[in-house]
Amino acid sequence: MTTRPLIVTGTDTGIGKTVFAAGLAGALQAHYWKPIQAGLDEDHTGATDAERVTRLSGLPPEKIVPEVYKLETPCSPHRAAEIDGVTIDPARLDLPNVPGPLIIEGAGGVLVPISRTETYVDQFARWGAPAVLVARTQLGTINHTLLSIEALRSRGVPILGIAFVGLAQPDSEATIEEMGGVRRLGRLPPLNVLTRESLTHAFAEHFRADDFLAEALA
């Protein structure tokens, strides 16, 4: 079997990419990979995204692919790397060879710099994989989401669709779908208690695993 990568990116940091990626990776029994982790205490519990995905997805540890860069400072990867005295080398970000679907989580949004000369979308284009764009439903999302769609398209990164996170905003969601020419994959509502059980249940209720599998298998 070959690796079938799917990128999870978003309109911003702190919008629910990791929670969505955990739900998706669990539903597909995929591997999860956060190649560049900038900030080793992102949610103030000392947990990295990979550790949170391990907990929230219930995936066995061998399905969590180790980070290539674990940077101390919670800031843009290009700066976090400089502070740690390292340079992010795209040659080290080649896709890991794992069987089946691989969920790759970026850092922040599409145009986050990974060096002084490149942004994350350049790396997405090199991977040649489709992207799921995670977007909040709150005020401001139409602008952020349409901008992100343009940036992905301008680099030739195929967009599988939009995964919303937050309370229902039917008009915003439909407007993004129509004006962005993208598919709405579903919406993860705010969960009062965020556990593996509540996330698995919510993901199954609000998304169709086949929408992601079909693309990953294509």
Ligand X SMILES: Nc1ncnc2c1ncn2[C@@H]1O[C@H](COP(=O)(O)OP(=O)(O)O)[C@@H](O)[C@H]1O
Q: Which residues bind Mg ion (CB under 5 A)?
A: 17-18, 49
- What is the token pair recorded at 129? 């994989």
34 is catalytic: yes
Euclidean distance between CA atoms 100 and 25, whole angstroms: 11
- Give the DSSP letter of residue 167: S
Residue of 17, 34, 63, 70 with catalytic role: 34
Please give the residues from 7 up to 26 whose contact with ligand X meets the rule CB under 6 A: 10, 13-19
Query: Residues in the chain, how many?
Result: 218
Is residue 43 involved in binding ligand X (CB under 6 A)?
Answer: yes
> Is 71 exposed, middle or buried (CB count within 10 Å of its CB: 0-12, 13-18, 19+)?
buried
**Partner whose binding site includes residue 216, from ligand X, Mg ion, none (CB under 5 to 8 Å by kind):** none
Is residue 132 involved in binding ligand X (CB under 6 A)?
Answer: no
Of the candidates 95, 159, 161, 101, the residue with the CA atom closest to the CA atom of residue 130: 159
Sign of CA dihedral 20, 24, 27, 30: negative
**Partner whose binding site includes residue 14, from Mg ion, ligand X, none (CB under 5 to 8 Å by kind):** ligand X
Give me the least distance between CB of 97 and ligand X, in Å please.
25
Among 89, 190, 197, 214, binds ligand X (CB under 6 A): 190
Of the candidates 5, 10, 6, 8, the residue with the CA atom closest to the CA atom of residue 110: 10
Among 188, 207, 212, 216, binds ligand X (CB under 6 A): 188
Give me the least distance between CB of 98 and ligand X, in Å please.
21
Residues that are catalytic: 34
Binding positions for ligand X, rule: CB under 6 A: 10, 13-19, 43, 165, 188, 190-191, 194
